[in-house]
Structure 1
């Protein structure tokens, strides 16, 4: 077996690369919840493409559909021309996802990344309302392009813009101040007070569970009140479901348990089901005030993604898959709770919902060390939060129980090694 010279990346690839620093090996193959490197070493994947591989790697049914489509010389690139694959996806998404949830949305296909979905949502909200500002929330993350960065909280990512980020107001997310303080009292006071300096915004953009921000899960009551405030002030509610959606928290849309109906929803990451770039922006039909071509993108007609995304929807034809995600989510919660109780040295806090969970460590640098140690033992896991203080579990939603427990064992052993040995700063 030939081996790749790691120096090629050091020599020719920009220093902007990041994940390869956390997982320093050359990967060659992946299937389901497993991934292999050049040496043939097997890893359990609790990273899942940062939430882009909710169904695991190379799902057999999706792969078969895609191969068949390619072999038949199906359309690959089409901009926004009509294709049979687009029609099939639209119809199936409406029938399998929207109608059963009593949701009526127009579908817009922006460029195939999450940040493009967010950019289109912000543009549309401003166009519909004629207002300029957007309210976002502390520790929110919405993408790396300028509009998305303006509503992102992370200081390091914002600094990368290189220009002032404007027309956004940051408000405290749920439990940002303390468990006993309702941050929406603070937000609503700003809207009510003509001297607050905060204009009525075009929209509020929120994640129900903040992924990059530290696996902060908003209470359902808080989300319900957000919707009520938006309705009271005629503000559009945008839910960024790019990472928390497509089943990650236990339901297809992460906002379902709150019983709310956002005006605009952003989806990407696992929407294609296969790791193929794909994004959509959903919005109430009456908000569809675009001029033709007013927001577009060369790769908004990714037909390979239409094929795999339509196949992925078969998982959602009944509630069996959803119940399995919720059952595994409880397994994760129980494991993290007992781990946190067993190792008070973590100074930890269990966070998240469903299969989007983790532990925030109160010891500087410890979460990163846990992920690093786990990698040595064959588990891929990342960190999140403004100081990388959370190690987070993002297993494939269809991972089997044995593999899930094996991953748990590796994490527990990694924590045990670190807290019992004086290697921390």
Structure 2
């Protein structure tokens, strides 16, 4: 077996794939197999997954029950492509999501299948908010990330990604996220002043869109009090509240929806990534019924709804028939947090700070280049992680929610070895 340090021949990719590729640069090997919380490359090298497909694989790789349901569906010549036609696969998913997730939480939402990716869900949410309110402006937050299409980029904070649009991005305004100004400043009051003062130069927006935990922005966590304050502001001023739960949702922070502990009721909820269960392209926009004023076909797309993903998404909901997974995420998350706290205490050269909630955690450092160095060293030692934040200042720890304790402990041990190596 070749060592993990021995690189694969990436000639085909280097010669023929666009320069836009990124993850293949961070993890320079050819992966061939994945199961549960591990991956293997063509050399047979084993990697522990602390990445989980950037949050698209909350249930791990190739869950056996989902795979069996999918294979049976394919063998039966089930519908592969159906636009937004009614299929038995879609019917089963809608009923199961209603009965297992929405009704038990007293949540009344219509389901929209906008296209296969998270940015499709965000685009549909922005469009609908503008259609219902008749207003153009959308308010977003510092360090936000909502996708790579033009509407989603207009509400994304990352300068580099915004620059990639190649055009001016209009009809949005950015406000400070929770604790962006400082721990002692409540930015809800700041936003409220701008919206209520007619001399502020900011018109009332159609919607406020936010992530409860900003993943790509650096694992920035909003308090439940702040979320409740934003919702109260929206209700008082007749502004849509859109929650982008694409990465933080589907159990990543513990509960199915990351905003549940705050007790808020968004007008629109954007879901993708792990809502499909198996890693298949799938997105879902949940809309309060009174806002569902679309004309038929007004927002469409060739791949709105993915019947293979309907099958796996339906099976994935078995994890939510009780609270076992939620409690496990809380337990494992606390274990990782304690480990990271100890890491920061034991290695002051890190200048570290622990961030996150549930199993969406990060080790932030003011030492330039440190997070990328930790992730690169991790890859050499058989651990897949990525960095986050505008300056790549955060080492992101996002294993599958189903990771077993032995593998989790092994991965954390490797992480500490990486820290020891890079801060010498």
TM-score grouping bracket, smaller chain normalisation: over 0.9
1:80 aligns with 2:81: no
Partner SS, residue 59 of structure 2: coil
TM-score normalized with structure 2 length: 0.98
Cα deviation, 1:197-221, whole Å, max 9, x if unaligned, reads 1000000000000000000000110
Report the counterpart of residue 358 of structure 1 in structure 2: 362
Partner of 1:14: 18
Matches of 1:235 and 1:243 in 2, distance apart?
Answer: 24
User: 1:207, 1:244 within 8 Å by CA — same for their partners in 2?
Assistant: yes
DSSP-derived class of the 1:397 partner: coil
Pairing 1:231-380 to 2, within 5 Å after superposition:
231-380=235-384
Unaligned runs of 5+ in 2: none
Q: SS at 2:423's partner residue?
A: helix
1:390 maps to 394
- Trace 1:19-418 onto structure 2 (pairs within 5 A): 19-418=23-422
Task: Give me the whole-angstrom Cα distance separating, in 1, the residues matched to 2:175 and 2:68.
Answer: 46
Q: State the number of aligned residues.
A: 420
Deviation of 1:99 (Å): 0.6
What is the deviation of 1:5? 3.6
Equivalent residue, structure 2, for 1:423: none
CA drift of 1:364 comes to 0.5
Cα offsets for 1:377-406 (capped at 9, x unmatched): 100000000000000101000000111010
Alignment partners' CA distance in 2, 1:369 and 1:307:
40
Structure 2: how far apart are the matches of 1:144 and 1:417? Answer: 35
Structure 1 segments of 4 or more deviating over 6 A?
1-4
| Distance of 2:275 and 2:114 partners within structure 1 | 13
Provide the secondary structure at the position in 1 that maps to 2:413: helix
* Separation (CA, whole Å) in 2 of partners of 1:7 and 1:323: 45
Q: Distance in 2 between matches of 1:208 and 1:239?
A: 8
Matches of 1:109 and 1:263, distance apart in 2: 16
Equivalent pair of 2:246/2:273 in contact (CA under 8 Å): yes
* Aligned-pair CA distance for 1:14: 0.4
Q: CA deviation at 1:4?
A: 6.7
Question: d(CA) in 2 for partners of 1:254 and 1:25?
Answer: 34
Q: Answer yes or no: is the 8 Å Cα contact 2:138–2:172 preserved in 1.
A: yes
C-alpha contact 1:142 1:152 (8 A) present in aligned 2: yes
Contact 2:8 2:28 in 1 (8 A): no
- Unaligned runs of at least 5 residues, structure 1: 421-425
CA contact (8 A) 2:283 2:305 kept: no
Counterpart Cα distance in 1 of 2:329 and 2:398: 12
SS state at 1:135 partner: strand
RMSD: 1.1
| Contact 1:81 1:301 survives alignment (8 Å) | no
Instruction: Tell me if structure 2 keeps the 8 A contact 1:150–1:168.
Output: yes
Asked if 2 retains the 8 angstrom alpha-carbon contact of 1:143 and 1:152, the reply is yes
Shift of 1:301: 2.7
Between 314-323 and 207-216, the greater mean CA deviation after superposition: 314-323
Do 1:349 and 1:360's aligned partners in 2 also have CA atoms closer than 8 Å? yes
- Between 1:307-316 and 1:181-190, the stretch displaced more is 181-190
